[in-house]
Amino acid sequence: MNAADIPFLPRGVRVKECKIREGWFLLAPERAVKLDQVGAHILGALDGQRDFAGVVAHLAAKFDAPVERIETDAGKFLTDMINRRMVEVA
Amino acid sequence: MNVPLKNAEQDMRAALARTPVPMAMLAELTHRCPLKCPYCSNPLEMIRKSRELDTETWIDVFHQAAAMGVLHVHLSGGEPASRRDLPELLTGAREADLYTNLITSGVGLTAAKFADLAERGLDHVQLSIQGVDGGTADRIGGYKGGFEKKMEVADWIAKEGIPLTINAVMHRQNLDRLADTIDLSVKLGARRLEVAHTQYHGWAYKNRTALMPTMGQVKRGGEIVAEARERLKGTLVIDYVTPDHLADFPKPCMGGWARVGLNVTPEGKVLPCHAAETITTLEFENVKDRPLAEIWDNGDAFRAYRGVDWMQDPCQSCDRQAKDFGGCRCQAFAWTGDAAAVDPACSKSPLHGEMRAAAIADGEVQADEFEYRLM
Asked if A20's CB is within 8 angstroms of B71's CB, the reply is no
Asked if A82's CB is within 8 angstroms of B234's CB, the reply is yes
User: Residue B223 in contact with residue B333, Cβ under 8 Å?
Assistant: no
Nearest-CA neighbor of B74 among B10, B128, B7? B128
Quote the pLDDT of residue A84: 83
Q: Is residue B92 classed as helix, strand or coil in its secondary structure?
A: helix
Task: Quickly list DSSP for B192-245.
Answer: EEEEEEPP-SHHHHHTHHHHPPPHHHHHHHHHHHHHHHHHTTTT-EEEE---GG
User: Residue B52 in contact with residue B267, Cβ under 8 Å?
Assistant: yes
Per-residue pLDDT averaged across A9-28, rounded? 93
In whole angstroms, what is the distance from residue B100 CA to residue B124 CA? 6
Q: Is residue B116 classed as helix, strand or coil in its secondary structure?
A: helix
pLDDT in tens, B89-129: 999 999 999 999 999 999 989 999 999 999 999 999 999 99
Question: End-to-end CA distance of chain A, in Å?
Answer: 12
Chain B residues in contact with A12 (beta carbon < 8 A): 123-124, 162-163
Per-residue pLDDT averaged across B211-219, rounded? 89
The torsion angles phi and psi of A80, rounded to 5 degrees, stand at -60, -45
Q: What is the pTM of this model?
A: 0.91
Quote the pLDDT of residue B15: 63
pLDDT at B7 over 80: no
pLDDT in tens, B287-309: 999 999 999 999 999 999 999 99
Quote the pLDDT of residue B359: 86
Distance from CA of B63 to the nearest CA of A (A): 14
B71 closest CB neighbour out of A12, A27, A83: A27
pLDDT at B5 over 80: no
Chain B residues in contact with A27 (beta carbon < 8 A): 71-72, 99, 123
Check the CA dihedral B219-B221-B227-B233 and report its sign. negative
pLDDT in tens, A22-42: 999 999 998 999 999 889 999
Chain A residues in contact with B195 (beta carbon < 8 A): none
Beta-carbon neighbour count of residue A56 at 10 Å? Answer: 25
User: Is the preceding omega at residue B314 within 30 degrees of 0, hence cis?
Assistant: yes
ipTM, two decimals, is 0.89
pLDDT in tens, A56-87: 999 999 988 899 999 999 999 999 998 888 89
In whole angstroms, what is the distance from residue B274 CA to residue B254 CA? 10
Question: Where is mean pLDDT largest: B18-22, B63-67, B311-315?
Answer: B63-67
In whole angstroms, what is the distance from residue B119 CA to residue B126 CA? 17
Asked if A28 is an interface residue toward chain B (Cβ–Cβ < 8 A), one would say: yes
Quote the pLDDT of residue B3: 44
pLDDT in tens, B35-65: 999 999 888 888 999 999 999 999 999 999 9
User: Residue A15 in contact with residue A44, Cβ under 8 Å?
Assistant: yes
Q: Max CA-CA distance within chain B?
A: 73
